[in-house]
Structure formats: C-alpha cells, structure tokens
Amino acid sequence: MAKLDAYDTPTNVTQVDGEVVLDGPGGVGLSMTPGAAAESGKRLVKGAAQAQRARRKRLAKPAET
C-alpha cells in the first residue's frame, strides 16, 4: 500500500449553534450533528488504536536487505 500524506496536527473541535465544527490542517473543515460527531469520535479512537498497533508491528520487523 502506498504511504498516505497523513497530517500530524490534531483537528480543532468547537460547538457552534448546536453543531460540532471541525477545523483541521490543510483547510479541512466541516460541521456535524452531535450524534454524528459522537459516532465519528468512537470510530477515530478505534482507527487510531489499530493504526498504532500496525505502526508498532511494522517498526518491530527487522529491516529487509
């Protein structure tokens, strides 16, 4: 799989008029309902844990020559 150009800067999250507003790096921005934001948060935590495990596993492999 090709390496993605992932951001290393967390997204800012605020509330405006009952909506959850995300303002991220690179001009990324969107608003969500509270329910969608809560479910997205759960999915982000799960995805982050999976990515951390994959990264540790990749770094633990001996370098191929």
H or E element, residue 21: strand 19-23
Strand partners, 23: 12, 29
pLDDT of residue 2: 63
More confident call, 28 vs 65: 28
Task: With respect to residue 37, please indicate whether it lies within any of the assigned structural domains.
Answer: yes
Residue 2 lies inside a defined structural domain of this protein? no
27 domain residue, yes or no: yes
Q: Which domain holds residue 46?
A: 12-60
Residue 28 located in a structural domain: yes
Amino acid at 63: A
pTM of the model: 0.79
56 within domain boundaries: yes
| 47 domain residue, yes or no | yes
The pLDDT, as a whole number, for residue 5 is: 85
Mean pLDDT of the chain: 92
- Per the model's pLDDT, the better-predicted residue between 26 and 18 turns out to be 18
Q: Is residue 31 a contact partner of residue 21, using CB atoms and an 8 Å limit? A: yes
Q: How many domains does the chain have?
A: 1
Establish if 65 belongs to a structural domain: no
Render pLDDT for 30-57 as a digit per residue (tens, 0 to 9): 999 999 999 999 999 999 999 999 999 9
Q: Is residue 7 part of a domain?
A: no
